[in-house]
Structure 1
Amino acid sequence: MKRWPTKPLGEVLEISRERIEPAKYPDTLFNYIGLEAIEGHTGNLLPYQPTLGAEIKSTKNMYHHGEILYGKLRPYLNKVHLAVDEGICSTDIYVLRPRERCIHPSFAANYLRSSSTLSAVTGAMAGANLPRIGHESLLGILIPLPPLAEQERIVKLLDEADELRKLRAQADRRTADLIPALFHEMFGDPVTNPKGWPESSLGHVLSISRERIDPANCGGTFFNYVGLESLEGHTGNLLPYKPKLGPEIKSAKNVFNPGEILFGRLRPYLNKVHLAEAKGICSTDIYVLRPNSERLHPSFTANCLRSPYVLSTVSSAMVGANLPRVSPGALLGIKIPIPPVELQGEFAEIASEIRQLEAIQTNSRARLEAIFQSVLHRAFNGEI
């Protein structure tokens, strides 16, 4: 095993201070990346649309090709992206610029995404409600530094391993597209309602649960606590999380039960909608929706709430500049088609079979990720 020399990140990377106020260029289209556009652990950039300067509030960081975007807010989400173009990003993202001829950008990005870095930054977070990693803590982390030629060899090896992850992700996306396609085939577009189903506002067919609990008063009780970060956008999947002791959870939380729907009201354009399969508690930035069982099947309801129609409607109804939310009235006022409950049930049965296939693929993805992390660990320890 080779032992590479180590250096603090601050000796091989610097934090860019280049900023811009997009509002001063109202007609210019910017590649604007928020934290939500960076996929955790993989570094992939999720689909986004260029944004007019007039629509972007406050000063933003600028980034260029070969620089690294590192999510400093909730760093345990492990959002690290190597830029392949130029644009602007949220100030909740550090823009890290490799010092010339010191380090290969992809080598640095992979190390920042590694389990050892993730462990270090998670232990150095500050702030209870909005935990962040300070720049001094981040730049003080040690990174192994082999010669540039060796870095390039390691990068090539990691790129080849990452291709397998990308192929797995492509297959997963195709499966994820099956349920929306099935929904559209069986019920049509909710906007045009081509099948002529009777329509109703959401407020007449479901309600927002007001059931709450203060976990801190529950001593040694463990809770299934779901925060917004635990909900995967657009798919409805619940990301891995661990039960928490009541005293570790600050302030009152919403209670949810199986068959109820968790709808992210903060930044609703992230499209975080999950059908609960177990009892738990969640952030108050999440509405807990309780469908009327005589009118709506929970699976149909969740998929309807995840549809482009509802997404577009709630996104246009957001209020608040820095922390945009959708109000209860705006959400419950949305009209949707109401097909027969029996047909909704048929949809739910087929969707359940697809979900089982997704679960198998998730296990496969987890095994592949474990292999990739093993390769990553061995590469940075000079074992390959």
Structure 2
Amino acid sequence: MSALNHGWKMVMFGEVVKNANFVERDPEANGIERIVGLEHIDPENLHIRRWNTIEDGTSFTRKFVPGQTLFGKRRAYQRKVAYAEFEGICSGDILTFEPKDNKVLLPELLPFICQSNAFLDHALGTSAGSLSPRTSWKALKDFQFPLPPLDEQKRIAEILWAADEAAEAYESVLLNIERAIDVYSDKCFLLHEARKKKPNIPSGWKIGFLNEISKIDPSMPKGLPDELEVSFVPMESVNEGGGISKCETKKLGDVRKGYTYFEENDVLFAKITPCMENGKGAIAESLKNSRAMGSTEYYVFRAIKPEDTQFIYYLTMSGVFRMSGTM
């Protein structure tokens, strides 16, 4: 183990952090309006953007306050950590951390400690249960980490929050671009006209069907060997807004049954809600041996003419097309 920097020291998480665990049994009477469940905390994002209101009703009693760090103890691999910027009630599957002494550990640094790979690895390693593995405060308080002196904590926290602010601004720009593309693509494809008995479309256009320009869910060719290495693309590997973020390599024999087959340049479309509404889809590219297996919740479109691949992708990514799938 390498020597620590001057002034730094190894500490146990439970030495400097407490699990506040405040209880509030009548939030409405005490002016608390927001209810936060695990589903409201986005992976790898410290900001809570969604919540239920007290009018929706709740059985939760755990209270959190501004400045606390919220940590999702169930399925810790989802990396759900948030920094509370308002008061509310949260699920029992969310732990509420705060420093024991703000002169020893800054509240602003705590969420980044909980976001660290080391902390999350410890949480995963101490989780129990097969379907919904959970870690516990008893296990987490034994996590060891190097704690810098307070002035160094301030410097690190300022840098990390500045980086977070830049990332949030970037995400906002991307969201606005995606919205603009969505509106523009809907207008370009004239999908709103396709439903009309007398569509108003330009000369030379016609109302067509996807199966006229693509093969839908094409079958796997016969005779592919079990030893063939292919890409494996589960639903979580397909991004909202388009693209594949990561995929594994597996032997075809291990994934031949129970998954969907597709090939290089096929278009993937998530047919399950809410993935469909959220814009999960992709053009399959850079596949191992040009072949892949993935979720059974994909529709696969293979362009009859290769030059139509991009057209099919943007068509299926358009808002009107996706909304038609929910009706």
User: Structure 1 counterpart of 2:69, which letter?
Assistant: I
Q: Quote the residue 2:298 is aligned against.
A: 287
Q: Quote the residue 2:99 is aligned against.
A: 98
- Distance apart, 1:172 and its partner CA: 3.8
Q: Quote the residue 1:2 is aligned against.
A: 6
User: Structure 1 counterpart of 2:245, which letter?
Assistant: L
Pair 1:110–1:181, CA change in 2 (3 A): same
Instruction: Report matched runs for 1:2-81 at 5 Å.
Output: 2=6, 4-18=8-22, 30=34, 32-35=36-39, 37-40=41-44, 42-45=45-48, 47-48=49-50, 50-53=51-54, 55=56, 59=60, 61-81=62-82
Equivalent residue in structure 2 for 1:151, among 150, 153, 157? 153
Pair 1:130–1:113, CA change in 2 (3 A): same
Q: Answer yes or no: is the 8 Å Cα contact 2:7–2:149 preserved in 1.
A: no
Q: Deviations over 1:207-233 (max 9, x none)?
A: 974969xxxx95x66542233332333
Q: Answer yes or no: is the 8 Å Cα contact 1:67–1:96 preserved in 2.
A: yes
- Distance apart, 1:303 and its partner CA: 4.6
Q: Deviations over 1:318-351 (max 9, x none)?
A: xxxxxxxxxxxxx4x74xxxxxxxxxxxxxxxxx
Pair 1:206–1:104, CA change in 2 (3 A): farther
Q: Quote the residue 1:180 is aligned against.
A: 182
Instruction: Report matched runs for 1:220-369 at 5 Å.
Output: 222-233=229-240, 235-244=241-250, 252-257=258-263, 258-263=265-270, 265=272, 267-268=274-275, 271-278=278-285, 279-284=291-296, 286-290=297-301, 299=310, 302-303=313-314, 305-309=316-320, 331=325, 334=327
Pair 1:202–1:137, CA change in 2 (3 A): farther
Q: Which runs of 5+ in 1 are unaligned?
A: 314-330, 335-384
Pair 1:273–1:112, CA change in 2 (3 A): same
Q: Answer yes or no: is the 8 Å Cα contact 1:275–1:299 preserved in 2.
A: no
- Distance apart, 1:111 and its partner CA: 1.4
User: Structure 2 counterpart of 1:72, which letter?
Assistant: K
Instruction: Report matched runs for 1:85-234 at 5 Å.
Output: 85-101=86-102, 102-127=104-129, 130-188=132-190, 190=192, 196=200, 209=217, 222-233=229-240
| Identical-residue share of aligned pairs (%) | 20
Larger Rg: 2
Counterpart Cα distance in 1 of 2:145 and 2:247: 28
Q: Quote the residue 1:84 is aligned against.
A: 85
- Distance apart, 1:66 and its partner CA: 1.1
Equivalent pairs counted in the alignment come to: 302
Secondary structure, in 3 states, of the residue corresponding to 2:244?
Answer: coil
Pair 1:264–1:148, CA change in 2 (3 A): farther
- Distance apart, 1:38 and its partner CA: 1.4
- Distance apart, 1:80 and its partner CA: 1.9
Return the TM-score normalized by structure 2.
Answer: 0.67
Counterpart Cα distance in 1 of 2:38 and 2:193: 29
Name the one with the larger helix percent. 1
User: Structure 1 counterpart of 2:115, which letter?
Assistant: R
Secondary structure, in 3 states, of the residue corresponding to 1:243?
Answer: strand
Pair 1:276–1:116, CA change in 2 (3 A): same
Q: Deviations over 1:91-110 (max 9, x none)?
A: 54433333343421221111
Q: Answer yes or no: is the 8 Å Cα contact 1:35–1:71 preserved in 2.
A: no
